[in-house]
Structures are given as C-alpha cells and as structure tokens.
Copies of this chain bind each other. A is one copy, B any other.
Amino acid sequence: MTANSRFRRTFRKIYRKEEPALKSAPVPAGIIAEFNPFHRGHAALIQAARESGATHVAVVMSGDFVQRGAPALLSKWSRTEMALRCGADAVFELPLPWAMAGAERFALGGVFLLAQLGCRRICFGSECGDVKALQETASLLLSPAFSAQLKQELSRGTGFASAREAAVHSLAGPQAAALLQTPNNTLAIEYLKAAQLLSMELEPFTITRFGADHHDSTPRAGFASATALREWIQKGEGWEPFVPSEAAEIIKREIALGACPADPARMERALLFRLRSMTLAEFASLPDISEGLENRLFAASRKACTLDEWFSLVKTKRYSMARLRRILFSALLGLTASDAQGLPPYLRLLGLRDSGVLFPRQAKETGKIPVLSHSSDLLHLDKRGRIMVELEGKGSDLHALFLPRPVPCGLNLSHGMVRVRS
C-alpha cells in the first residue's frame, strides 16, 4: 500500500465518521500563524479562543518559508503536528507567495482562506487588546482621506511604515498612530482591513499579548518571544521551558533527526551563488520591487562577498530588513511578482484532528476554491493551481538544504497529511 493510498483510506474514514454531537451550533474560529516555533503564547491564544466560545479552531499556517524572509525553523509537517497536539483542530497551508509577503498581502491571503473554511471568528494577539481601536484604524486605512494623506507623506521620501504612521497621526491623533508601532497590532489591523476589503464576515477576537514582546529577548511571566526561542534553539539550550511539552517533544525529535533547526548560514554561499547568477531583468521580476530597487540589488550582488555585506549594501531607511530578506529568499526560490497576484487558488490541508473535519467539509460545501487533501486532488487543479503546487514543492525541496541533514526532494507531495487522534 503506497503512502498515498494509505492516506486516502484514512481520509475517507475520517469523513465518514460522525462528529461528536455539539450542544448547539458550531462556532468555527480561525487563527493565522507561523508557529516558528509553537510556544506557550500560541497555546494561550488557542485556549482563549475556546474559552470565548469557539467550538473548532482552524489554523492557516505559513509553509516552509516565513514572513520575515527565512526558512521556517522546522518543516511545515512538524509545525502542523505541534499545532494539532497543542489544541488546533485543523491546519491549512498559506501558500508561499502570501506566506513570504509583507503584512498586507500575508493578511489578505490568510483571511481569505479562513473565510473559505467557513470560519465565523478570527482570533489573534495584539499589544493593545482593544478590538474597537483596531477596527477603527483598519477602517481609517481603507478611507480615501488616508490614501491622500499617505501620498503626501510618502513624497517626503520616508519609508512606507513611517509615512503610514504619520498619515494616521494627522488624521486620527497620536493614540491611533501609536497602534501601528507594534508588530501584532499592525498585523491585526491588516487582518481587519482584509476582512473589510473581501467583505468577509469574520468577528474579531483578540487577546492582549502578555509577557514578552514579539522581538523581546528576555522572557517575562513564563513567556518568551518566537525570536528569542529561535535563537536559543540555534544555540541548543534554554528554549524548553517556554514551549508546551507536546511541542517540545516534537522539537527534540526533529533535532535528533537533523531536521531542525533550519539555518540560513548553511546556505550563505548558495544564496551568494544565486545572486551572482541573476540578470538585472531577473531582479526586476521579483516580488516587492519598486523605484528601481533592482539596480541596487544587482549592483550589491556583484560586490558582496558575504550576506551581511549584501544587506549593508542594499539597506536604506526606505526598505525594511524583512522586505529585503523576503526579496533575497524569493530570488533563491524563483518566486516572481506574477506568482504573488490575486488570492490563494486552493486550500491545502496539512493536518487534522477528528474534530477538525468540520473545516474541509464546510470548505467543500460553501468555499469557492478546491480543498487539497491528497495528491489525486492535484489532478483537478487549474493551471495556476498547478504552478502554485510546483512552487510549493520547490520551496520544500530547497528548505531541506537549510537543515543540518538535508532530506530528498518530493516531501511536499509524498508526506501524508498529519493525523492526531482527539
């Protein structure tokens, strides 16, 4: 029996099984996340979502590359397993062009997929914990008045983030502008903007991020940031107390297998090789290129002898480090601006608990895009869908080269959906 046919059988069994009876109508909620890696803050968000009345929690998760422009520390399969063991009911993949995009496009892809899944609620952390304030700012950012003000601020030559903050400041005062200074508020506002833009009815629910800040290197009240955790996992110590034990077991297993941590340093020469091999036209076709940035990237690629040098040659206050890192990794993966247009063309199921079956079922009933749960589903994809699957496969094959012990190609299709018994 092949992995695929085994998988198909399991999947049919799940579909046939009746869901546990609920006292009232289900309240399906969704989270957009990276779980890079999964930590106690993530577990707290899932728990709070349930306490607030969510009966089912779906996650739309980045695959093998993440929004900060880097390979995920562990494969998407092990991160899916962590999420399921720590309380999520189902995990779906946010395809590469949205996973490795700026906050706006990242949120747009994620919110669209949550809505396709039939989620009625979106749950997220935020520094302010104030849904109303976040909603107001989201509406403001979508108003014509804001567009006009932003244009004016941008003409002064500052970077996009500062210009946006200044525009909000002049239209809605310092408190609203202050919201945009922290990463979780910013992402939350993008989720709410995306829901408005797509006319999706998604009730927002937020918890205040407590303990550590997003990039904070010192843990507080038992919580550490993902940034700090990644550093400690690279160093090989100190991370365990800040990760739920179920997730810690998986991380330890993956480290023992040589499948964690993915490290960009292992691919420094490969990245330099790719940069040195690229033509100016290829730089121009990357996502997120504007204002002749391709010339700067091309020139830096011909001078730089290390990646640090490359970053210091291209960096100005106009471009954030995350954006430059995303451009670098897009170059490696062969991701182009045309891949990143529109909305995700399918919902790929990465993993499921029995209770999570609600989501693919709802998506098949009411969603507008195909749900991929096994390889044979690929046959029914249109051309754009097939290109996206190939891109995702290439991403997975290259992610393997960042690991201590690379694995063969093809895992993206050969790896079965992750199943966790409820």
Enumerate chain A interface residues (CB-CB to B < 8 A).
266-267, 269-270, 272-274, 276-277, 301-306, 332, 334, 394, 397-398, 400-401, 405-410
Do the beta carbons of B303 and A401 come within 8 Å of each other?
A: no
Do the beta carbons of B305 and A394 come within 8 Å of each other?
A: no
Do the beta carbons of A273 and B398 come within 8 Å of each other?
A: yes
Do the beta carbons of B273 and A305 come within 8 Å of each other?
A: no
Residue contacts A-B, CB under 8 angstroms, 7 given: A267-B270, A269-B270, A269-B401, A273-B274, A273-B398, A302-B409, A305-B408
B contact residues around A302 at 8 Å (CB): 397, 408-410
- If A266-B269, A303-B409 touch, whether A398 touches B334 (CB-CB below 8 Å) is no
A406 to B310, CA, bound (A): 13
Do the beta carbons of B277 and A334 come within 8 Å of each other?
A: yes
Do the beta carbons of A332 and B273 come within 8 Å of each other?
A: yes
Do the beta carbons of B276 and A409 come within 8 Å of each other?
A: yes
Do the beta carbons of A401 and B266 come within 8 Å of each other?
A: no
A388 to B269, CA, bound (A): 25
B contact residues around A405 at 8 Å (CB): 305
Do the beta carbons of B397 and A276 come within 8 Å of each other?
A: yes
* Shortest distance between the CB of A224 and any CB in chain B (Å): 30
- If A277-B334, A334-B277 touch, whether A272 touches B401 (CB-CB below 8 Å) is yes
Do the beta carbons of B269 and A407 come within 8 Å of each other?
A: no
Do the beta carbons of A273 and B276 come within 8 Å of each other?
A: no
Do the beta carbons of B267 and A401 come within 8 Å of each other?
A: no
Partner of A398, one of B277, B397, B398, B409: B277
Task: Specify the chain B residue showing the minimal Cβ separation from A302.
Answer: B409
A203 to B130, CA, bound (A): 90
Given A273-B401, A276-B401, list of 12 further CB < 8 A pairs? A267-B269, A269-B269, A269-B401, A270-B270, A272-B406, A273-B274, A276-B394, A276-B409, A277-B398, A304-B408, A305-B407, A306-B406
B contact residues around A273 at 8 Å (CB): 267, 270, 273-274, 332, 398, 401
A316 to B256, CA, bound (A): 34
B contact residues around A400 at 8 Å (CB): 305
A259 to B44, CA, bound (A): 53
6 nearest A-B residue pairs (beta carbon):
A270-B270, A302-B409, A305-B406, A270-B273, A303-B408, A269-B270
Do the beta carbons of A398 and B276 come within 8 Å of each other?
A: yes
B contact residues around A398 at 8 Å (CB): 273, 276-277
Task: Specify the chain B residue showing the minimal Cβ separation from A332.
Answer: B273
A267 to B276, CA, bound (A): 14
A409 to B298, CA, bound (A): 11
* Shortest distance between the CB of A274 and any CB in chain B (Å): 7
Task: Specify the chain B residue showing the minimal Cβ separation from A397.
Answer: B276
Do the beta carbons of A277 and B406 come within 8 Å of each other?
A: no
B contact residues around A407 at 8 Å (CB): 305
* Shortest distance between the CB of A367 and any CB in chain B (Å): 33
* Shortest distance between the CB of A37 and any CB in chain B (Å): 23
B contact residues around A266 at 8 Å (CB): 269
A332 to B306, CA, bound (A): 19
B contact residues around A272 at 8 Å (CB): 270, 401, 406
A84 to B85, CA, bound (A): 69
B contact residues around A394 at 8 Å (CB): 276-277
* Shortest distance between the CB of A48 and any CB in chain B (Å): 41
A270 to B302, CA, bound (A): 17
B contact residues around A306 at 8 Å (CB): 406
* Shortest distance between the CB of A75 and any CB in chain B (Å): 14
A407 to B304, CA, bound (A): 8
A277 to B274, CA, bound (A): 11
B contact residues around A332 at 8 Å (CB): 273
Task: Specify the chain B residue showing the minimal Cβ separation from A405.
Answer: B305
* Shortest distance between the CB of A391 and any CB in chain B (Å): 12
A407 to B306, CA, bound (A): 9
Task: Specify the chain B residue showing the minimal Cβ separation from A400.
Answer: B305
B contact residues around A409 at 8 Å (CB): 276, 301-303
